[in-house]
Amino acid sequence: MTSRVLVVDDEPAIRHAVGRLLRREGWDPVTVATAGEALAALERGPADAILLDYHLPGMSGAALGAEIVARWPALAGRMVFVSGDPSLTVEAFPAACRGARLLPKPFDLLELAAALRGVLGPTTSISNSSGNSA
């Protein structure tokens, strides 16, 4: 079964690069730019993991993460946050999102793949990622 990964980032280049990586590795990416689009995508179908920009316009990634866990508790522990804010730490995460991984932007695609593999579980493998940054 193919893992579905929801990618939420307001930067089109990040969505594009991550979507390509996920497809190449056999995962099913769903890429969106806003919190509203993310919630709508989850309403349409489940996700196995979420890559979530911490600083989104409108509803923050932090608030979105908490909302997702409140509505879909099975996604607790299945989120990887990304942020370009060097002062952000996992201690700033809402309680519902504690334990999530935080990757600084720009992130290495191999590191991203490893983080997603960590939340998706041992049955998921990454075969031939290049170590490019996004």
Main-chain dihedrals φ then ψ at residue 71, nearest 5 degrees: -90, -30
pLDDT value at residue 124? 41
pLDDT value at residue 1? 67
pLDDT tens digits for range 20-66: 999 998 899 999 999 999 999 999 999 999 999 998 989 989 899 99
Is residue 55 in some structural domain? yes
pTM of the model: 0.86
CATH of the domain at 12: 3.40.50.2300
Neighbours of 91 (CB within 10 A): 7
Number of domains comprising the chain: 1
Neighbours of 12 (CB within 10 A): 10
Is residue 56 in some structural domain? yes
Is residue 134 in some structural domain? no
Cα radius of gyration (the chain): 13
Domain hosting 31: range is 4-120
pLDDT value at residue 63? 92
